[in-house]
């Protein structure tokens, strides 16, 4: 495996993300001794997020940066997308938690009154985007660079 400390724990195929398959999938992982999950990084799979509380108590979730950026940029005109993307991209590049939180406030201020729909979107999602800050800085890149379902546990 080329990425030490990561491995595929399970695989399942479903035709939709309505949440019906997630409880069984998570229970299958738990039955194979998955425990201590601290963070799940899905691509905003609402079915998974809604199922986590019952199956992975204590785990939080980090919304994937790339997919979120696409969602946010869909809220502004195409001509404004590069301008809106820049402050969002720099949020995770900060040196510490305080700087990350200050940068998200800056991004919200940049959107301001000019893009109220995008402002509301980012304001609602900021907690999901900043979950990585609860972990040591040394592993932030591992957390937010994933575009697939990923889980951190013991």
Helix (H) or strand (E) holding 141: helix 140-144
Classify residue 154 by burial, with Cβ atoms within 10 Å: 0-12, 13-18, 19+: exposed
Q: How far is it, in rounded angstroms, from Cα 56 to Cα 101?
A: 26
Supply the pLDDT for residue 148. 44
Digit-coded pLDDT (tens) for 78-113:
999 999 999 888 998 899 999 999 999 999 998 887
Residue that wins the pLDDT comparison between 145 and 65: 65
Digit-coded pLDDT (tens) for 12-55:
887 777 677 888 889 999 999 888 888 888 766 778 888 888 88
Taking alpha carbons only, the member of 47, 62, 22 closest to residue 152 is 62
Strand order in the sheet with 39-40: 60-61, 39-40, 151-152
Digit-coded pLDDT (tens) for 140-152:
888 866 544 444 5
pTM as predicted: 0.78
Helix (H) or strand (E) holding 61: strand 60-61
- Give residue for tokens 């509380």: 53
Classify residue 38 by burial, with Cβ atoms within 10 Å: 0-12, 13-18, 19+: middle
Helix (H) or strand (E) holding 48: helix 46-55
For the chain, what is the radius of gyration of the CA atoms?
17
């Amino acid at each position: 495996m080329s990425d030490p400390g990561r491995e595929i724990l399970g695989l399942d195929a479903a035709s939709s993300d309505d949440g019906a398959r997630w409880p069984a999938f998570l229970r299958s992982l738990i039955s194979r001794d998955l425990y201590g999950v601290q963070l799940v990084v899905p691509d905003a799979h609402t079915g998974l997020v809604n199922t986590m509380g019952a199956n992975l108590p204590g785990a939080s979730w980090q919304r994937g940066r790339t997919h979120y950026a696409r969602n946010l940029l869909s809220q502004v005109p195409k001509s404004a997308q590069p301008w809106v993307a820049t402050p969002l991209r720099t949020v995770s590049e900060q040196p510490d938690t305080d700087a990350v939180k200050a940068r998200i406030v800056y991004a919200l201020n940049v959107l301001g009154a000019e893009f109220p729909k995008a402002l509301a979107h980012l304001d609602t999602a900021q907690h999901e985007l900043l979950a990585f800050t609860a972990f040591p800085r040394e592993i932030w890149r591992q957390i937010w660079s994933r575009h697939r379902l990923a889980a951190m546990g013991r």
